[in-house]
């Protein structure tokens, strides 16, 4: 990535990447939800207590701190082993979002990311634009008709055909509007080779999505899932 897509800033003990349009206004305090006061509202769906909606009129942003899940997360909540700046998870996700935007895929635009060293560990955070008029699929799945389920399937196929691996494709990382579908949270995601659509990792991500829907709704969405697969399998021209 070059200076036309990112500006590297080191200030107040943090290292950050900022999109050029926000570089001059950038403030390291942006990554602290307390700095925003009442303008920072915790994300209720899928946020794990580590994400906030930020109102910076006229902009609407999402601030997310990187947190570990599972058993490890209970012991080391927000620290990761530092193995060089190029492998910092926030930086990787920021640059991936830039690439996906260039490919024309429906993802939010990144604003800024940072990491802060703490010995051999680091903590990090990301700020992205908040998409308007959308809700997580996990919140609205029962209200969608067959056409929308097919459209969602087509969008997921579009990502897969572009070789996009999403490490946590669950129903709360798919945001749906009246006619739009976006994917969010590309932590640990990557671009892979454009292999045939039945490649195992693609099937595994679909299985993960199906499990998340079953966890949220039991078996209520079996019919809707078939509509999703119809859209996914129908065409690459989406």
Which positions are catalytic? Answer: 168
**Sequence-separated (6 or more) residues with CB below 8 Å from residue 122:** 79, 80, 82, 88, 115, 116
Phi-psi region of 188 (alpha: psi -120 to 50; beta: other; left: phi over 0): left
Q: Is 59 helix (H, G, I), strand (E, B) or coil?
A: strand
For helices 200-217 and 222-234, the axis angle rounded to 10 degrees is: 150
* CA angle at 186 for the pair 181 and 187, rounded to the nearest 5°: 155
For residue 209, which of 138, 135, 154 has the smallest C-alpha distance? 138
Q: Are 54 and 60 in contact (CB under 8 A)?
A: yes
């Amino acid at each position: 990535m070059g200076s036309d897509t990112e500006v590297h800033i080191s200030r107040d003990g943090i290292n950050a990447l900022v999109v050029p349009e926000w570089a001059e206004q950038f403030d390291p305090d942006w990554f602290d939800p307390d700095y925003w006061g009442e303008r920072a509202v915790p994300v209720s769906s899928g946020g794990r207590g580590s994400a906030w909606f930020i109102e910076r009129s006229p902009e609407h942003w999402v601030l997310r701190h990187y947190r570990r899940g599972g058993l490890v997360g209970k012991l080391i909540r927000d620290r990761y082993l530092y193995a060089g700046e190029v492998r910092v998870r926030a930086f990787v996700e920021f640059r991936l979002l830039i690439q996906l935007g260039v490919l024309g895929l429906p993802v939010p635009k990144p604003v800024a990311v940072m990491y802060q060293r703490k010995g051999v560990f680091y903590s990090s955070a990301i700020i992205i634009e908040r998409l308007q008029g959308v809700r997580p699929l996990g919140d609205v799945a029962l209200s969608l008709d067959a056409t929308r389920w097919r459209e969602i399937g087509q969008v997921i196929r579009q990502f897969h055909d572009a070789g996009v691996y999403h490490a946590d494709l669950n129903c709360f990382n798919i945001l749906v509007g009246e006619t739009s579908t976006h994917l969010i949270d590309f932590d640990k995601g990557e671009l892979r080779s454009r292999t045939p659509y039945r490649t195992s990792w693609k099937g595994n991500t679909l299985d993960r999505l199906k499990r998340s829907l079953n966890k949220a709704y039991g078996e209520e969405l079996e019919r809707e899932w078939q509509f999703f697969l119809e859209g996914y399998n129908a065409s690459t021209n989406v």
